[in-house]
């Protein structure tokens, strides 16, 4: 569907609940571009809401949509205005009192064998199950984060190899949090990521130690507008595993591709909790990305 005028563009915003069902609920809809010079703020009834925005034929055509509703956490996404085609924005509304529902270890192995095999790296299946269950019971946010990042890494191709294949150990200790985990990898992974960066798949983060103390190099994935994987290496922290001197890695998910997306950071503060990225927020953003044609994102748990 084309916009009525060449100086305008439209977007269809569709909202869903955690079961991926259309959510027929009144919401507060806010739309802004990257300079905040254009702004829409109105109450509207879901699940489908049409918005019309100015078209500038330039950098100010990048818009951020934010939706708020009683009982739900704010959520949002981005679209680029184009008068020739109506943008489609799909948003997943996460309840404020949400909970994580994980698969049993045996079911995880049957449905997601690659994830289960990765969680067993450096140990045996019995120990991996014990650690999985302990996180499930005592730190579900950390387990959701681990599954989010594992699923994101599984979708990346590093010269014909998955990033998961470079891992030799996962740090199942107090460093495992709701926003990142640590492990040890074959150092060949650094060159593989550097080569992927030369192809435009990653961008190097300069001065990474300012954000990741002790790190020596770091790259952010560039595939999506939001929720890109970041791979940070600590080359001075090593461990010999099976005769290979491995280096520490710190994978996490970077919510925003660049500072143009600062609107998310300003109007969606509850995507983070205590300064740390919320795994439920990552889940919602990656689901929205999949709806826009990105890779499917099914990390082995659901939100309820």
Q: How many independent structural domains does the chain possess? A: 2
Boundary of a domain, candidates 56, 71, 92: 92
| Co-location of 53 and 152 in the same domain | no
In a domain, 174, yes or no: yes
* Residue pointed to by tokens 């926003």: 179
3-state secondary structure of 88: strand
Boundary of a domain, candidates 92, 115, 145: 92
In a domain, 2, yes or no: no
Residue 33 has pLDDT above 80, yes or no: yes
More confident residue, 227 or 270: 227
Does pTM top 0.85 for this prediction?
A: yes
Rounded average pLDDT over 97-115 = 96
Predicted confidence at residue 269, as pLDDT, reads: 46
DSSP 90-129: EEEPPBTT--EEEPPHHHHHHH-HHHHHHHTTTS-HHHHH
- Cα→Cα distances 197→157, 180, 219, Å: 12, 21, 8
8 A C-beta contact, residue 280 and residue 94? yes
* Residue pointed to by tokens 């994830």: 115
Predicted confidence at residue 272, as pLDDT, reads: 43
More confident residue, 262 or 175: 175
In a domain, 143, yes or no: yes
Rounded average pLDDT over 97-112 = 96
Selection from 168, 156, 151 nearest residue 196 by Cα = 156
Predicted confidence at residue 38, as pLDDT, reads: 64
Mean pLDDT (the chain) is 89
| Co-location of 121 and 87 in the same domain | no
Q: Which of 137-141, 166-170, 236-240, 275-279 has the lowest mean pLDDT?
A: 275-279
| Co-location of 249 and 211 in the same domain | yes
| Co-location of 54 and 188 in the same domain | no
Predicted confidence at residue 257, as pLDDT, reads: 54
Residue 6 has pLDDT above 70, yes or no: yes
In a domain, 1, yes or no: no
| Co-location of 104 and 52 in the same domain | no
Beta bridge partners of 30: 41, 66
Token output for 10: 């439209």
Residue 270 has pLDDT above 50, yes or no: no
| Co-location of 138 and 286 in the same domain | yes
Which residues are CB-contacts of 98 (< 8 A; sequence separation ≥ 6)? 18, 73, 280, 303, 304
Rounded average pLDDT over 214-222 = 95
Nearest-angstrom CA–CA distance, 26 and 11: 18
User: CA quadruple 286, 154, 151, 145: dihedral positive or negative?
Assistant: negative
Selection from 77, 79, 59 nearest residue 3 by Cα = 79
Rounded average pLDDT over 23-29 = 95
Strand ranges (DSSP E) for the chain? 8-16, 26-33, 39-45, 48-54, 62-68, 75-80, 87-92, 100-102, 167-170, 183-185, 202-204, 217-221, 226-241, 244-256, 272-273, 276-277, 301-303
Domain that holds residue 21: 8-92
| Co-location of 113 and 78 in the same domain | no
End-to-end Cα separation, the chain, in angstroms: 34
Residue 266 has pLDDT above 70, yes or no: no
Boundary of a domain, candidates 92, 116, 139: 92
Rounded average pLDDT over 281-303 = 91
| Interval 171-210: pLDDT, tens | 999 999 999 999 999 999 999 999 999 999 999 998 899 8
Nearest-angstrom CA–CA distance, 253 and 279: 9
| Co-location of 159 and 72 in the same domain | no
Selection from 92, 61, 57 nearest residue 76 by Cα = 92
Predicted confidence at residue 295, as pLDDT, reads: 86
CATH number at residue 64: 2.60.40.1120
More confident residue, 262 or 215: 215
| Co-location of 65 and 131 in the same domain | no
| Interval 53-96: pLDDT, tens | 999 998 889 898 999 999 999 888 889 999 999 999 999 999 99
């Amino acid at each position: 569907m084309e916009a009525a005028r060449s100086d305008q563009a439209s977007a269809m915003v569709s909202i869903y609940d955690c079961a991926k069902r259309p959510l027929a609920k009144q919401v507060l809809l806010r739309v802004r571009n990257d300079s905040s010079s254009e702004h829409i703020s109105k109450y509207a009834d879901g699940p489908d809401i049409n918005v019309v925005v100015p078209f500038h034929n330039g950098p100010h055509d990048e818009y951020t949509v934010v939706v708020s509703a009683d009982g739900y956490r704010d959520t949002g996404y981005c679209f680029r205005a184009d008068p020739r085609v109506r943008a489609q924005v799909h948003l997943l509304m996460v309840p404020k009192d949400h909970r994580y529902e994980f698969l049993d270890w045996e079911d995880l192995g049957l449905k997601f064998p690659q994830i289960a095999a990765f969680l067993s790296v450096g140990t045996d299946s019995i120990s991996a199950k014990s650690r999985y269950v302990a996180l499930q019971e005592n730190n579900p946010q950390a387990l959701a984060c681990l599954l989010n990042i594992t699923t994101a890494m599984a979708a990346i191709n590093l010269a014909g190899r998955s990033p998961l294949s470079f891992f030799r150990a996962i740090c199942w200790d107090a460093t495992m949090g709701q926003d990142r985990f640590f492990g040890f990898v074959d150092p060949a992974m650094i060159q593989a990521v550097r080569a992927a960066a030369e192809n435009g798949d990653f961008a190097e983060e300069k001065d990474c130690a300012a954000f990741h103390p002790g790190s020596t190099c770091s790259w952010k994935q560039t595939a999506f507008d939001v929720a890109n994987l970041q791979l940070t290496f600590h080359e001075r922290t090593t461990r010999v595993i099976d005769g290979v001197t491995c280096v520490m890695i710190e994978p996490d998910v970077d919510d925003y591709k660049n500072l143009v997306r600062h609107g998310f950071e300003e109007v969606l503060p509850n995507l983070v909790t205590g300064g740390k990225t919320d795994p439920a927020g990552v889940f919602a953003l990656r689901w929205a990305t999949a709806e826009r044609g990105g890779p499917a994102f099914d990390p082995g748990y659901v939100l309820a």
